[in-house]
Structure 1
Amino acid sequence: MPKLSIVVPCYNEQEALPLFYPAVEEVVQRVDGLKTEYWLVDDGSADQTLAEMRKLHSIDPERVHYLTFSRNFGKESALYAGLEAATGDYVVVMDADLQDPPSFLPQMYSILQEGEYDCVGTRRTDRKGEAKIKSFLSDQFYKVINRVSQTNIVPGARDFRMMTRQMVDAILSMKEYSRFSKGIFSWVGFRTKYLEYKNVERVAGTTDWSTWKLFKYAMDGIADFSQAPLSLAVWLGTTSFIISIIGLIFVVIRRLIEPTSSAFGWASMVCIILLLGGLQLLCIGIVGKYIGRIYMQVKNRPIYIIKEKK
């Protein structure tokens, strides 16, 4: 009998977990010939999320498992830990807030059973209920990253997806410290079918993904899957150099034509110095961003540290 592992990264989800488990159970119990297991990953929550996980484990110790980190390592680390712990022939990643509709699980499983696809993902067709600025920045991110990266990332794609064991093993083989799962899911390849749905609001609790956190996450994704920022630094440096040469030639010619002319003045000189200095700092910062990622990777620190596992 095939087994489905349900991986649920959690951070401060004490209100959502008691609602999540029965909602998913109601759906998966209707799928004939399928064993299930849960892997709830506590990403160093500050509330009673771990206590709720322990309660669910005590209710069904054979199928409900949990692990908790020694501190907050981030959702990407929690997702990776859950995939490593999962033992199923199929693995689905879901959020605990029920924004990922459990009703899709039977359809996902049925599609994978046909053998044509290795992954069934989901994408939102709208972002109703979210702040307009967050929706705008999200749309712009997908446009930018698909222009600068060779790895195509489907706009509106969610982490909510069901994968075969082969695809999960391929994802786990990527041991990089800085992880951007949306890009990794696409980079490993495998045939993926996307199911579309309208945005669903959280069933309980509040999101910890602020606009600033999402912006930093987007920048990490661009740095992980594109060298375009490095190319931008090269072009900025080249452009500023050419402009400086043209300016120098202009000053020399003007001096030859009008020997009595004075310099442009200290204000223009300061502006030029600030312009060139700013470009240099920008380029150094971009290069430093990539060097920093290399530095974190070569230190070979663990992606996460487990404090408790059941």
Structure 2
Amino acid sequence: MSNEAPRLSVVVPVFNEEAVLPLFAERMRPVLDGLRMGYEVLAVDDGSRDCTPAVLDGLRRQWPQLRVVRLRRNSGHQNALTAGLRRARGTYVVSIDVDLQDPPETIGDMVRLAESAGLDVVHGVRTDRSTDSAFKRWTAGLYYGLMRRVAGTEVPRHAGDFRLLSRTAVDALAELPEQQPVYRLLVPWLGLPSGEVTYTREQRAAGRSKYPITKMVRLALDSVVGFSAAPLRVATWLGLLGIAGCAVLAVAGGAAYLSGNVVPGWTSLLVAVLFLGALQLLCLGLLGEYVARVFTTIQGRPAYVVTYDSGVEQQPAEDLLCRL
């Protein structure tokens, strides 16, 4: 690989995508070759357990601009994206998923817009999500509505991790001490000149989604906790509401006692105890999310470990053995 920095880097997180990788390369390579600029494609293998490493090595032999970065274990989509962004050398860096739901042909529009308008960020915004399920569309709308309230209205609606960043934006992100980054919120937070390119979301080219409901919930939780102290304030308000409710019950109980209209039973007492117990557990859980993040930051452990990078001339002996 040439030591000269390319004009464009494309970062592609990959996890167990042996079925879609040949289709991705077949569609992506003509698009990038047609841009008539130096480029590299960083496929970040996020600890795949299928034949993804072997497929990537096979593609790299036929595609000189393909660069494989392999993580020692599965570290998550956002951390794989971090590994790619920090190793990308291009003046512009585009991040895109490998499933081809975001069309590679849009990359040219992003580059032209960034160059003509002098932008540091170009978001890919989905205007048509009819290929997604109704549940997916509903949860996405709920997520982006919540994020705009938490992180500000500058967060584009229906903009995922398909975006273009200038070298200025990439360097600014690298300086942030985030342990659990959520780039769809971090990038708008930078406040750099930005624009949008719209596109129609397509169906997954092959394989199955690697982003189940559990990961979507985790992303939403990381987004809220990482960008706002609102959950802690919610816990405070729930506590005040519980105290107010108990005060009302106490007044009502005293009035019933004085009037002699007391109905013996334990149901109301049990409901009150369960309600207060659940309230306390909820508040402790919210507090625990913040404490866990402080604990992780203090530990200072790396969010990911790179075991191999085909773009580096000299590899440690241990890393060379990891090649398939």
- TM-score in terms of structure 1 length: 0.93
- For 1:106 and 1:184, the matched residues in 2 are separated by 24
Aligned partner of residue 205 in structure 2, secondary structure: coil
The Cα shift of 1:108 comes to 1.3
- For 1:134 and 1:183, the matched residues in 2 are separated by 20
- For 1:56 and 1:184, the matched residues in 2 are separated by 32
User: Higher mean Cα deviation, 128-137 or 84-93?
Assistant: 128-137
The Cα shift of 1:270 comes to 0.9
Q: Say whether 1:189 aligns with 2:191.
A: yes
- For 1:19 and 1:84, the matched residues in 2 are separated by 26
1:162 alignment partner in structure 2: 164
Deviation track 1:38-87 (CA, whole Å, cap 9, x = no partner) reads 111000111111112112222244x3211111111011111000011101
Deviation track 1:163-219 (CA, whole Å, cap 9, x = no partner) reads 110001111112311121111111112122111112211122211111232122212
Q: 2:38 aligns with which of 35, 38, 41?
A: 35
The Cα shift of 1:277 comes to 1.2
2:78 alignment partner in structure 1: 76
Root-mean-square deviation (CA, aligned residues, Å) is 1.8
- For 2:142 and 2:68, the matched residues in 1 are separated by 36
Aligned partner of residue 128 in structure 1, secondary structure: coil
Deviation track 1:69-116 (CA, whole Å, cap 9, x = no partner) reads 111101111100001110111111111122221111222111111243
The Cα shift of 1:145 comes to 2.2
**1:194-205, aligned counterparts within 5 Å?**
194-205=196-207
- For 1:122 and 1:264, the matched residues in 2 are separated by 64
Q: After TM superposition, what 4+ stretches of structure 1 lie above 4 angstroms from structure 2?
A: none
Q: Say whether 1:44 aligns with 2:74.
A: no
1:92 alignment partner in structure 2: 94
- For 1:45 and 1:2, the matched residues in 2 are separated by 27
**1:190-269, aligned counterparts within 5 Å?**
190-255=192-257, 257-258=258-259, 260-262=260-262, 265-269=265-269
Aligned partner of residue 128 in structure 2, secondary structure: coil
Give the length in aligned residue pairs: 306
Contact 2:14 2:45 in 1 (8 A): yes
Aligned partner of residue 105 in structure 2, secondary structure: helix
Long gaps (5+) in structure 2: 311-324
Structure 1 residues 2 and 51: alpha-carbon distance in aligned structure 2, compared to 1, 3 A threshold: closer
Deviation track 1:234-274 (CA, whole Å, cap 9, x = no partner) reads 1000011112122223323443x32x444653111111111
Q: Say whether 1:290 aligns with 2:290.
A: yes
Structure 1 residues 2 and 39: alpha-carbon distance in aligned structure 2, compared to 1, 3 A threshold: closer
Q: Say whether 1:4 aligns with 2:8.
A: yes
Contact 1:14 1:47 in 2 (8 A): yes
Q: 2:57 aligns with which of 54, 58, 77?
A: 54
